[in-house]
């Protein structure tokens, strides 16, 4: 459709606008051009180039249909809008299709059993308490640095890998930071964005290999030991597959959870009447409330697929080889599914948002991500008295809805 009102999702200028303004553009697309073609995106960082245009999918039902249809819509050609190489050896099964995706995910599923999830949830709760113990006696600071970055970093190093050595813990946390910040000029001395990403992955994999050996020799009660032990239909992960899986986990668990916590604190602050409603019965309401927090500000805004065959979607032909971008953030505000979608309503139910994806690639760590948000809100509510927050600094990205910094002040 050629229409002057159509938003240009490919321009960096679009992504520099506030989320709510962008959402009005997605609404325009949902109503007027639900399967729209876009020019190649302006690259997010120097050193990246995009050669292909793409389809933007913005309605909830279309998003569900396409994300479930992995025989036509492949993840193996890459999952980001930008032409980042598929990096299968680094990002494991999130960039694979069945049967390899199913086999590898099947192996790891064993480690994410209900018993193991419950154990990790308890550890996350203890860790959140410890972090707020350290931060509460101060009276101000950047909450992203002090809290939101800390929790997923330590969960990864201690709960997932069981790292005891402080130095290696630091290396792992710093490498995780580098993996998520490949486009950040701070790392430009290492090389172009792809080199920054690969360098971080190499450091993570080295630690994963060594810790896997340790857990084989001395089994522990942590995710690494469960993965080393895990098998699916007699198959175990090779050393390289295990290294790639841990790199995927760093990428998938770290920044997502960090930004989810930051948004949760910001959104409660911006909606004091909703915050009061939650605090009237925190334990009774937090499970429902966390879903609205996730719907309102999804940490990841899209995932991409590539069509393997021609496909008709509502009268539009998507051609084999075309890039197809699933804007989960737009589905979360689709008025065809969510009544009054622009109302922030912590008691909204049902609330089947798409912030953890849908279909065979549905997030494996959704309960752990939710748990980090819940634990931080519980700790903040109990111990960060009279918390006031300032203006957040937002990341410029078409993928990650990221909060870079959030100044806070509270009574020690």
Q: Which residues bind ligand HEM (CB under 6 A)?
A: 67, 75, 79, 93-94, 105, 248-249, 252-253, 256-257, 260, 299-300, 303, 355-357, 361, 363-365, 368-369
Q: Which is nearer to ligand HEM, 17 or 64 (CB)?
A: 64
Min dist. Cβ of residue 2 to ligand HEM (A): 30
Q: Which is nearer to ligand HEM, 64 or 409 (CB)?
A: 64
Min dist. Cβ of residue 191 to ligand HEM (A): 27
CB 340 within 8 A of CB 295: no
Q: Which is nearer to ligand HEM, 242 or 253 (CB)?
A: 253
Min dist. Cβ of residue 84 to ligand HEM (A): 14
Q: Which is nearer to ligand HEM, 255 or 379 (CB)?
A: 255
Min dist. Cβ of residue 31 to ligand HEM (A): 24
CB 25 within 8 A of CB 3: no
Min dist. Cβ of residue 340 to ligand HEM (A): 23
CB 261 within 8 A of CB 147: yes
What are the E-state strand segments in 78-215? 140-142
Nearest residue to ligand HEM, scored by beta-carbon proximity:
365
Residues 6+ apart with CB under 8 A from 152: 253, 254, 255, 257, 258, 372
Instruction: Tell me whether the omega of the peptide bond preceding residue 99 falls within 30 degrees of 0, making it cis.
Output: yes
Cα 177 off chain centre by: 14
Alpha-carbon span 407 to 139, nearest angstrom: 11
Instruction: Tell me whether the omega of the peptide bond preceding residue 233 falls within 30 degrees of 0, making it cis.
Output: no
Nearest to 343 by CA among 297, 298, 301, 296: 296
Alpha-carbon span 260 to 387, nearest angstrom: 18
Q: Which is nearer to ligand HEM, 201 or 410 (CB)?
A: 201
Q: Which is nearer to ligand HEM, 222 or 256 (CB)?
A: 256
137: which 2 tokens? Answer: 């006696």
What's the Cα-to-Cα distance from 399 to each of 80, 186, 216, 303, rounded to whole Å?
A: 7, 19, 37, 8
Please name the helix (run of DSSP H) or strand (run of DSSP E) that holds residue 200, with its range, or none: helix 193-217
Min dist. Cβ of residue 330 to ligand HEM (A): 13
Q: Which is nearer to ligand HEM, 62 or 105 (CB)?
A: 105
Min dist. Cβ of residue 313 to ligand HEM (A): 17
Nearest to 265 by CA among 378, 356, 412: 378
The backbone torsions φ and ψ at residue 102, rounded to the nearest 5 degrees and listed phi first, read -65, -40
User: Is beta strand 323-327 parallel, antiparallel or unpaired with respect to 302-307?
Assistant: antiparallel
Min dist. Cβ of residue 368 to ligand HEM (A): 4
Residue 35 pairs in a beta bridge with 57
Q: Which is nearer to ligand HEM, 29 or 262 (CB)?
A: 262
For 69, the 3-state DSSP assignment is: coil
Q: Which is nearer to ligand HEM, 204 or 410 (CB)?
A: 204
Q: Which is nearer to ligand HEM, 91 or 410 (CB)?
A: 91
Nearest to 245 by CA among 356, 78, 105, 126: 105
What are the E-state strand segments in 62-192? 73-74, 140-142
CB 372 within 8 A of CB 152: yes
Min dist. Cβ of residue 95 to ligand HEM (A): 8
Min dist. Cβ of residue 67 to ligand HEM (A): 6
């Amino acid at each position: 459709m050629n229409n002057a009102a159509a938003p240009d999702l490919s321009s960096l200028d679009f992504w520099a606008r506030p989320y709510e303004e962008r959402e009005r553009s997605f609404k325009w697309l949902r109503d007027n051009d639900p399967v729209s073609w876009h020019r190649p995106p302006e690259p997010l960082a120097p050193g990246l180039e995009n050669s292909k245009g793409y389809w933007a999918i913005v309605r909830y039902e279309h998003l569900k249909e396409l994300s479930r249809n992995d025989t036509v819509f492949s993840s193996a050609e890459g999952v980001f809008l930008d032409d980042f190489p598929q990096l299968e050896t680094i990002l494991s099964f999130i960039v694979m299709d069945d049967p390899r995706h199913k086999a590898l995910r099947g192996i790891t599923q064993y480690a994410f059993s209900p018993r193991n999830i419950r154990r990790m949830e308890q550890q996350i709760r203890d860790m959140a308490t410890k972090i707020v113990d350290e931060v509460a006696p101060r009276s101000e600071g950047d909450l992203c640095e002090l809290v939101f970055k800390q929790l997923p970093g330590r969960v990864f190093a201690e709960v997932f890998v069981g790292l005891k050595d402080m130095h290696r813990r630091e290396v792992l946390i710093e490498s995780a930071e580098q993996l998520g910040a490949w486009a950040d000029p701070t790392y430009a001395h290492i090389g172009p964005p792809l080199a920054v990403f690969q360098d971080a992955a190499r450091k993570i994999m080295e630690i994963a290999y060594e810790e896997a050996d340790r857990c084989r020799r001395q089994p522990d009660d942590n995710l690494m030991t469960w993965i080393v032990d895990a098998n699916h239909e007699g198959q175990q992960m090779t050393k390289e597959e295990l290294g790639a899986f841990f790199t995927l986990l760093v990428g998938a668990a770290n920044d997502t959870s960090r930004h989810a916590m930051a948004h949760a604190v910001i959104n409660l602050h911006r909606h004091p009447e909703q915050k009061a409603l939650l605090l009237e019965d925190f334990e009774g309401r937090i499970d429902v409330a966390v879903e609205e927090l996730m719907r309102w500000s999804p940490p990841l805004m899209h995932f991409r697929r590539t069509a393997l065959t021609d496909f008709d979607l509502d009268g539009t032909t998507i051609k084999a080889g075309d890039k197809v971008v699933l804007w989960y953030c737009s589905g979360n505000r689709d008025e065809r599914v969510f009544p009054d979608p622009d109302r922030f309503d912590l008691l909204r139910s049902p609330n089947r948002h798409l912030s953890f994806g849908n279909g065979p690639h549905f997030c494996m760590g959704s309960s752990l991500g939710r748990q980090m948000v819940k634990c931080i809100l519980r700790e903040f509510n109990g111990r960060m008295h009279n918390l006031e927050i300032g203006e957040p600094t937002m990341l410029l990205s078409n993928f990650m809805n990221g909060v870079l910094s959030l100044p806070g002040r509270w009574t020690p």
